[in-house]
Amino acid sequence: MNYDCIVLGAGIVGVSSALQLQARGRSVCLIDKLAPGEGTSFGNAGLIERSSVIPYGFPREFDKLIRYALNNQSDVRYDFSYLPKITPWLASYWWHSSPKRLAQAAVEMWPLLQRCVTEHDKWITLANAQDLVRAKGWIEVFRETLSFEHAKCDLDELGFYQLNYDVLNTEQLLVREPTLKPIVKGGIHWLDPKTVTDPSQLAKRYAQLFVKLGGTLLNGDAQRLKQKNNGWALQTDEQLLESDNVVVALGFNSPELVSRFGYKIPLAVKRGYHKHYRVEADHVLQQPICDHLAGFILAPMTNGIRLTTGAEFTDPNLPAKDIQINRAEAIARTLYPLGEAVESTPWLGRRPCINDMRPVIGKAPKAKGLWVNFGHAHHGLTLGPISGRLLADLMTEDKPFTDPAPYSIQRFT
């Protein structure tokens, strides 16, 4: 079968890329070894996160570094045995996290973040997925007065982005989220983001829309991709697919494939977990809350309250470990009356994180017809549709809505 384009990977990024190309009249075949939205896009916290405008850099404050060195926190944990392997990447991540470089990264990511909600809205309507989406934002909760005061001061630096938020004292916070325990010192309610009650289901609805509009969705192994006659060929179990263009959107598995064509991408995996808990009738959370210090999110979802963790550094291929989710759960129970756990083991996801905190989107010129869209780190759900739009603009030679240079894969050659 011949297509204008083969998209490899049906996570939120690949599905969105396929939809955007299809909307420009291209025939598209979307390939995954799993069903859509079953990779990292399955289990995130569901934030379409238009308020986290400063990328999550490597901390530089002395007190934070000491805290992480002790390796007993819930927001970041690591396996000592993995440190020699990850240290070169961490060093380059640290270098890109200087205040000046981080500010530059924020400015360069803003054109994508600024449009992330409106771009999702378009597809949410077309995919009939309004039932999965809430427009109440999320609340950052502080358990310590000092960190609340610091966070309030930091708000002044965000003026450029014109974000909408409410600063809440304890009383106001407990009115907005009455189920929280009164240990809280205050909160910031971020109003621009939307939140999703089942992120995997959203990717599946987008994929259903793609198929309904004539797109082809097939199971296959992207590693079987071959260059052939100036184009590309991929043998699935059922058929041979051919195309002039291929998009690599394989999340954390992408570097392995593009390395075959001469690209060495400094991408590391920040693992993260989730687990669901039952909700008592009188303890319903109105919107997701994030614990500022412990880095976990409690999000009301279809399967109960979803507790998600921060970052874990260890071999990406090792099975899930309980340590980080248990630490988060212990703190979460001091904040909110979590019910019984729904699952006995946590779900494990792998965030695809590039050292300079920007994804790669666009042409990969070392191989004719090779395109990339991966490395969305903490914000793949947020950025899927908008980075798909930029990619499709570039592939169809439409005028891109923003300068694509900051996301070029050429920065790694």
Ligand X SMILES: Cc1cc2nc3c(=O)[nH]c(=O)nc-3n(C[C@H](O)[C@H](O)[C@H](O)COP(=O)(O)OP(=O)(O)OC[C@H]3O[C@@H](n4cnc5c(N)ncnc54)[C@H](O)[C@@H]3O)c2cc1C
Contact footprint for ligand X (CB under 6 A): 9-14, 31-34, 38-41, 44-47, 49, 221-223, 249-251, 253, 272-274, 308-309, 349, 351-352, 374, 376-382
Residue 383, token pair as written in the block: 């950025």
Closer residue to ligand X, CB minimum distance, 36 or 406 = 36
Q: How many CB atoms lie within 10 A of CB 230?
A: 8
Q: Are 189 and 139 in contact (CB under 8 A)?
A: yes
Give me the least distance between CB of 233 and ligand X, in Å please.
Answer: 15
Closer residue to ligand X, CB minimum distance, 26 or 379 = 379
Q: Are 288 and 308 in contact (CB under 8 A)?
A: no
Give me the least distance between CB of 300 and ligand X, in Å please.
Answer: 13
Closer residue to ligand X, CB minimum distance, 37 or 369 = 37
Print burial letters for 309-328: b (CB count within 10 Å at least 16), e (below 16). bbbbbbebeeebbebbbebb
Closer residue to ligand X, CB minimum distance, 142 or 296 = 296
Residue 172, token pair as written in the block: 């106001």
Q: H/E/C letters for each residue in 206-249? A: HHHHHHHCCCEEEECCHHHCEEECCEEEEECCCCEEEEEEEEEC
Give me the least distance between CB of 22 and ligand X, in Å please.
Answer: 17
Separation of alpha carbons 192 and 204, rounded Å = 24
Q: Please report which helix (H) or strand (E) contains residue 142, including its range.
A: strand 138-142
Closer residue to ligand X, CB minimum distance, 102 or 113 = 113
Give me the least distance between CB of 230 and ligand X, in Å please.
Answer: 23
Give me the least distance between CB of 343 and ligand X, in Å please.
Answer: 14
Give me the least distance between CB of 306 and ligand X, in Å please.
Answer: 9
Angle between helices 380-395 and 12-23 (to 10 degrees): 30
Closer residue to ligand X, CB minimum distance, 105 or 377 = 377
350 CA to centre of own chain:
9
Q: Please report which helix (H) or strand (E) contains residue 7, including its range.
A: strand 2-8
Closer residue to ligand X, CB minimum distance, 250 or 294 = 250
Closer residue to ligand X, CB minimum distance, 12 or 106 = 12
Give me the least distance between CB of 399 and ligand X, in Å please.
Answer: 25
Residue 307, φ and ψ in degrees, nearest 5 = -100, 120
Bridge partners (DSSP) of residue 363 are 371
Print burial letters for 359-387: b (CB count within 10 Å at least 16), e (below 16). bbbbbbeebebbbbbbbbbbbbbbbbbbb
Q: Are 239 and 1 in contact (CB under 8 A)?
A: yes
Closer residue to ligand X, CB minimum distance, 39 or 369 = 39
Give me the least distance between CB of 14 and ligand X, in Å please.
Answer: 5
- Render 262-310 in DSSP notation, one character per residue: T----EEEEEEEEEEE---GGG--SS-EEETTT--EEEEETTEEEEE--
Give me the least distance between CB of 281 and ligand X, in Å please.
Answer: 26
Closer residue to ligand X, CB minimum distance, 97 or 200 = 200
Pairing of strands 347-354, 267-277: antiparallel
Q: CA 117 → CA 51, 52, 354, 386, distances in Å?
A: 11, 13, 23, 9
Give me the least distance between CB of 376 and ligand X, in Å please.
Answer: 4
